[in-house]
Amino acid sequence: MKKIDSCIAWHEHKIKRRDREKLKNQRGCVLWLTGLSGCGKSTIANMLEETLNKKGSHTYLLDGDNIRHGLSRGLGFSDEDRMENIKRVAEAAKLFVDAGIIVIASFISPLRKHRQAAKEIIGADDFVEIFIDSPFCECVKRDVKGWYKKALNGEIENYTGVDSPYEKPENPDVHLNMEETAAEEAVKMIITVLNNLWIFL
């Protein structure tokens, strides 16, 4: 019997990515926000989308917690499950890019191999890595959900930054030092990068 994969063909469509981008007056891309829990990713992601929306840009925000209610429901936090989560998100983001959408992806994505996998799936030309860099002690202070406290007390396992590693990006496209940068200024810095990358046609 033939494998199912061998029976699946790729269908070319008349309307291409470039056609969709022309209608939106922008290039599709993925803005991948990475950093520890509590570093400010969600705050910046929301402010960034609001700013882009006011500019008339077409966006979609993929949030780590929200994704686990649907697309990645059932996945845990083992290294294998984290990788599978990132791969699913990257494949979904790639479809949005083909539609000409600016995707804001807010995910801890703790290991470099996770972020590299996402970059390879999405494509290097469409992937902008943004490191939201906040000290661990500040992230713990902002922990309104109390997860760090539980992890530090040994009540939960595999928590990034406590008993599970976070590997800082070595050469991100945007490095935001949140000890020195307010969220509003961080958003402005990201918008400047987008302008330099000719995201807006």
**Average confidence (pLDDT) over 134-146:** 90
- Position 7 pLDDT exceeds 80: no
Per-residue pLDDT at 72 exceeds 90: no
The three-state DSSP-derived secondary structure of 68-134 is CCCCCCCCCCCHHHHHHHHHHHHHHHHHHHHCCCEEEEECCCCCHHHHHHHHHHHCHHHEEEEEEEC
Alpha-carbon gap, residue 48 to 60, rounded angstroms: 11
Architecture of the 15-196 domain? 3-Layer(aba) Sandwich (3.40)
State how far the alpha carbon of 96 is from the alpha carbons of 50, 115, 158, in Å.
18, 18, 31
Q: Which residue type sits at 30?
A: V
**Residue 175 bridge partners (DSSP):** 131
**Residue 109 annotated to the active site:** yes
Per-residue pLDDT of 104-132, as tens digits, reads 999 999 999 999 999 999 999 999 999 99
Q: What is the pLDDT of residues 144-159, one digit of tens each?
A: 888 899 999 999 888 9
Long-range contacts of 166-173 (CB under 8 A, 24+ apart): 166/36, 166/108, 166/110, 167/110, 167/111, 167/112, 168/131, 168/133, 169/34, 169/112, 169/115, 169/129, 169/131, 170/112, 172/34, 172/129, 172/130, 172/131, 173/128, 173/129, 173/130
Distance CA 151, CA 68 (A): 20
94 is written with which tokens? 């790639």
Ranges of each domain in the chain: 15-196
- In the prediction, which pLDDT does 201 show? 67
Q: Which two tokens stand for residue 193?
A: 């990068």
Using pLDDT thresholds of 50, 70 and 90, give the confidence band for residue 8. Answer: confident
CA distances from 85 to 2, 152, 188 (A): 29, 25, 29
pTM (predicted TM-score): 0.91
Q: Give me 6's structure tokens.
A: 């061998």
The catalytic position among 37, 42, 106, 109 is 109
Q: How many CA atoms lie within 13 A of 52 on its CB side?
A: 28
Q: For residues 187 and 198, what is the distance between their CA atoms, to the nearest angstrom?
A: 17
**Element of type H or E holding 141:** helix 136-141
Q: What pLDDT, on the 0 to 100 scale, is given for residue 1?
A: 47
More confident residue, 67 or 98: 98
| CA 128 to chain CA centroid, nearest Å | 9
pLDDT for 164-193, tens place per residue? 999 999 999 999 999 999 999 999 999 999
